[in-house]
A and B are shown apart, each in its own frame.
Chain A
Amino acid sequence: SQQGEEDPQALSIQEGENATMNCSYKTSINNLQWYRQNSGRGLVHLILIRSNEREKHSGRLRVTLDTSKKSSSLLITASRAADTASYFCATDNAAGAQKLVFGQGTRLTINP
């Protein structure tokens, strides 16, 4: 079963706008990660946020984590056509499982 669930499943915006994707999970975690997948390619790691962190930035990416609500959000600012991709959150399990569980992803389309 999926640990993380992304919302929305699909998002279409105009170039230059900001895109926000959300992820909810069920169990306590050590960290939460976001990945991007371009069509037909493997996943690429974007950012990792640990359970004791609330916010993290990387370039145009901003990730927040609310462990009390078991949720995270990924914000992409000033979107570009090249940001068109699927975005996945992945969580580990604080109980000690040595693996990540991925959500079903948000398909983001940036319209020129």
Chain B
Amino acid sequence: NAGVTQTPKFQVLKTGQSMTLQCAQDMNHNSMYWYRQDPGMGLRLIYYSASEGTTDKGEVPNGYNVSRLNKREFSLRLESAAPSQTSVYFCASSIRSSYNEQFFGPGTRLTVL
């Protein structure tokens, strides 16, 4: 099993450009999450999907949109990138919401110029 995969690994954008970060899991998990991590900081939740067909805002949702495409895939879209969105983005999944451990992808390092 590949676990949680994320693409791309690295991305450089110019201010105002858009892009979609892809995430997929092959563990048949119900819940999926998008976090961002800034230098020296913990993870902050952007959006999550407790189950297929549902999405909810986390702590820092502004400037982002998400799509739970199916049970396996959960994408994060930046419609108009800003330098403040320069960060490392992690996708994670768990069997069921916060009752179980989360499995993390390797991360996407995004720089917005």
Binding site for B on A (CB under 8 A): 1-2, 4, 30-31, 33, 40-45, 48, 88, 90, 92-93, 97-105
For residue A2, which residues in chain B have a CB less than 8 angstroms away from its CB? 42
For residue B105, which residues in chain A have a CB less than 8 angstroms away from its CB? 42
CA gap between A98 and B32 in the complex, in Å:
11
Complex interface: stretch among B62-70, B77-85, B93-101:
B93-101
- With known contacts A42-B106, A42-B107, A48–B101 Cβ distance under 8 A: yes
For residue B45, which residues in chain A have a CB less than 8 angstroms away from its CB? 99-101
Which residue of chain B has its CB nearest to the CB of A47?
Answer: B101
Please name 5 further chain A to chain B contacts, defined as beta carbons within 8 Å, in addition to the given A45-B101, A88-B42, A102-B35, sorted by A numbering.
A42-B4, A42-B106, A98-B56, A100-B45, A105-B41
B98–A92 contact, CB under 8 A?
Answer: yes
A88–B43 contact, CB under 8 A?
Answer: yes
How near does chain B come to A6, taking the closest CB pair, in angstroms?
A: 8
For residue A45, which residues in chain B have a CB less than 8 angstroms away from its CB? 101-103
For residue B31, which residues in chain A have a CB less than 8 angstroms away from its CB? 98
CA gap between A58 and B45 in the complex, in Å:
27
B58–A104 contact, CB under 8 A?
Answer: no
CA gap between A4 and B100 in the complex, in Å:
17
B104–A44 contact, CB under 8 A?
Answer: yes
Most chain A C-beta atoms within 10 Å of own C-beta, residue among B42, B98, B104, B106? B42
